[in-house]
Amino acid sequence: MSFVHLHNHTHYSLLDGLTNIDDFIAKAKSQGSTALAITDHGVMYGAIEFYKKCKKAGIKPIIGVELYLAPNSRHDKNTKSDARNFHILLLAKNNIGYKNLIKLVSLAHLEGFYYKPRIDWELLEQYHEGIIASTACLGGEIPSYILSGNLDKAKERILDYNNLFGQDNFYLEMMDHPELEGQEIVNKQLIKFSKELGIPLIVTNDVHYLNKNDDEAQDILLCLQNKKKREDTDRMKMIGHGDYS
């Protein structure tokens, strides 16, 4: 059985993802994948192009997005703390889900934009039908609570998400990034929660570039995005984290 990449950032994740859609699809096809997802940060700019090119290549396209979730209301835009957000991975299960993703992304920009295009729990409650969700990367809500030691809150929110999306439409997402501080802690706890709560696990790779030796080029993109120099020590880096397909 081939591995299907479900968490992928193309060059439409501006100044964050490095790889164009053609190369992503070609790599997936060379690896024997039968399906491939697109989950850019906060946008769906590449969805139509991705869908058409996947179909032409004989690969099942999975349309998704990694959205930013406001901890409280998307309308809160007064303080620096309101700029905080969690990541959440959403995949369209059917045409209803695709339309709901479009609605969520649109409202994230029109109503929730504050540093990032944000949704909130209220919008998820309105537009969750036809969507499969997962806990995303270490920036997700559940991983954040695990890393802060608040396991009771993590468990509570897992049950909230599972009740909202429905059994087998919500997954606990593990990643194999051992060099990333906290990833092993999160993975071990997600396995425990899965066994305790009966909520399934998925394994993804937080893909931001195509091949291992592309990490230097992607690092330059991050510097441009964050207005940093490569020699700065207090900046975001992905080198050595294995964020490739």
Confidence at residue 91, expressed as pLDDT on a 0 to 100 scale: 98
What ranges do the domains of the chain cover?
A: 21-226
> pTM for this structure?
0.92
Confidence at residue 243, expressed as pLDDT on a 0 to 100 scale: 61
Query: Which residues, 6+ apart, have CB-to-CB distance to 72 below 8 Å?
Result: 82, 120
Q: How many CA atoms lie within 13 A of 175 on its CB side?
A: 28
Q: Tens digits of per-residue pLDDT, 176-213? A: 887 788 999 999 999 999 999 999 999 999 998 887 77
Residue 134 is encoded by which pair of tokens? Answer: 């997962």
Confidence at residue 240, expressed as pLDDT on a 0 to 100 scale: 62
**Nearest residue to 10 (alpha-carbon basis) of 84, 93, 52, 66:** 66
CATH superfamily of this structure's domain 21-226:
Metal-dependent hydrolases (3.20.20.140)
Phi, psi of 211 (to 5 degrees): -125, 160
Phi, psi of 86 (to 5 degrees): -110, 155
Which regions of the chain are under pLDDT 50?
none
